[in-house]
Amino acid sequence: MGLLLRQIAAFGSLTKEVIMIPDLNTARRLLEEGWQRNPGPWKNHSLTAAHCAKTIAERLKMRGNDIDPEKACILGMLHDIGRREGVTWLAHTIDGYDYLMSLGYEKAARICLTHSFPEKDVNTYIGRHDISAEDEQRLVTLLQSFDYDDYDRLIQLCDSIAMPDGPASIIERMTDVKNRYGHYPQSKWDKNLELKRYFEDKMGCQVEEVVGISPL
């Protein structure tokens, strides 16, 4: 390939990456606009998830992992953006996906789906399946089509430690969900702990130290 063609190809892939997620200011604006439409604790939960994703990614990067802390922060900020459509359950995942896809932010859209399914199993969703059968099938097909990367895994972890008033221990947060919803699938519980260990092995320290909470 000639130099010019290589430059065009490099620019093309850079452009594609840039438009797959919004910049930080745009992400903040989308979250604020979404919250204005449907005020609730989900905005502060999203900001906590963004903080955790950024700090964990910074530590991962420091240890030589190929990860962008700002991108992780943006993805954490927007993972629940589907809640802009109202007080919903499973619908918030596909609503967020459709919304961000309509804006062209493919990677951020995907996180709206993957953050709720560490096991890629729609049946592990804790809460009402308030979407049509067609949308549920679309969700299943999309999940199966994704090859999860560390951004997907990181936001899954951060979602499981993000409380509206700040990061919590993973056990505390999962217990909170269990108490509110009445149950918590054991396999999902175990998978979240596995995710925590996965990132701790890469970071060489505990998640709690990095995000600023005391370990149990």
Determine which helix (DSSP H) or strand (DSSP E) holds 166, and give its type and residue range: strand 166-167
In angstroms, the CA 136 to CA 95 distance is: 12
Q: CB of 157 within 8 A of CB of 195?
A: yes
* Residue 95 interacts with Fe ion (CB under 5 A): yes or no: no
Q: CB of 201 within 8 A of CB of 63?
A: no
Nearer to Fe ion, 9 or 96 (CB): 96
In angstroms, the CA 17 to CA 68 distance is: 12
* Residue 80 interacts with Fe ion (CB under 5 A): yes or no: yes
Nearer to Fe ion, 95 or 159 (CB): 159
CB of 52 to Fe ion, least distance (A): 11
Q: Which long-range contacts (CB under 8 A, 24 or more apart) does 26-30 make?
A: 27/74, 27/77, 27/78, 27/108, 28/77, 30/78, 30/81
CB of 79 to Fe ion, least distance (A): 5
Region binding Fe ion by CB under 5 A among candidate stretches 24-32, 58-66, 138-146, 158-166: 158-166
CB of 216 to Fe ion, least distance (A): 22
Region binding Fe ion by CB under 5 A among candidate stretches 33-41, 120-128, 159-167, 197-205: 159-167
* Residue 135 interacts with Fe ion (CB under 5 A): yes or no: no
By CB under 5 A, name the binding residues for Fe ion.
Answer: 80, 159
